[in-house]
Amino acid sequence: MPEYTRSRVKGGTFFFTVVTYQRMPILTAPPARKILHDAWFDVEQRLPFETIAICLLPDHLHCIWKLPQEDDNYSVRWSEIKRLFTHRYLKEIGPGQKRNESRQKRREAAIWQRRFWEHTISDEEDLETHLDYIHYNPIKHGYVTKAADWEWSSFGRYAKMGIYNPGWLGGDEGRIQRMTFE
């Protein structure tokens, strides 16, 4: 299997997609949201990062993080978030999906896909494209007809800041103000 090389940019801004094992639809359930929030907060305190945007869907999440100036290690943050979430989820909720032989051999729970997808944000246009993607995702998956109706997203914060019109349905129309990329 070819070796995948992750992008390393100290102080970089990154877009991520993280998916549950076999797309198990657990993330928007109240107990899982609380567990994820607590794990996220714990890791953010110990290994600082700024959450620029996020959208939580039942079986995956998208987010954009900005790392501290001399830091490029988002992998350790995701590893910790997944580890803390998994440990507490198993303890409070249950085992998740049935583990296959590979997961049993590695002593892995069946909560998260092993990997995550990452993209380094390169400029303002790239940032806006990924903000739109994150906030449009609940519409794309048919959960709502407008972004403001999805409660597990940073869209409301951006609408209050005047970046988006509250009635935004996707695309350029309704995106009011440009973001600044640092």
Q: What pLDDT does 68 receive?
A: 97
Q: What pLDDT does 103 receive?
A: 45
Q: Among 6-10, 74-78, 131-135, where is mean pLDDT lowest?
A: 6-10
Burial (CB count <10 Å: 0-12, 13-18, 19+), residue 13? buried
pLDDT tens for 16-63 read: 999 998 888 999 999 999 999 999 999 999 999 999 999 999 999 999
Q: What pLDDT does 170 receive?
A: 83
Q: Looking up tokens 């409301």, which residue turns up?
A: 156
CB 74 within 8 A of CB 15: no
pLDDT tens for 65-107 read: 999 999 999 999 999 999 999 999 888 876 665 655 554 455 5
Burial (CB count <10 Å: 0-12, 13-18, 19+), residue 47? middle
Average pLDDT over residues 145-150: 95
List Cβ neighbours of 82 (8 Å cut-off, separation of 6 or more).
Answer: 18, 111, 112
**What percentage of residues in the chain have a pLDDT greater than 70?**
82
> CA–CA separation, 109 vs 76, rounded Å?
18
Better-predicted residue by pLDDT, 171 or 107: 171
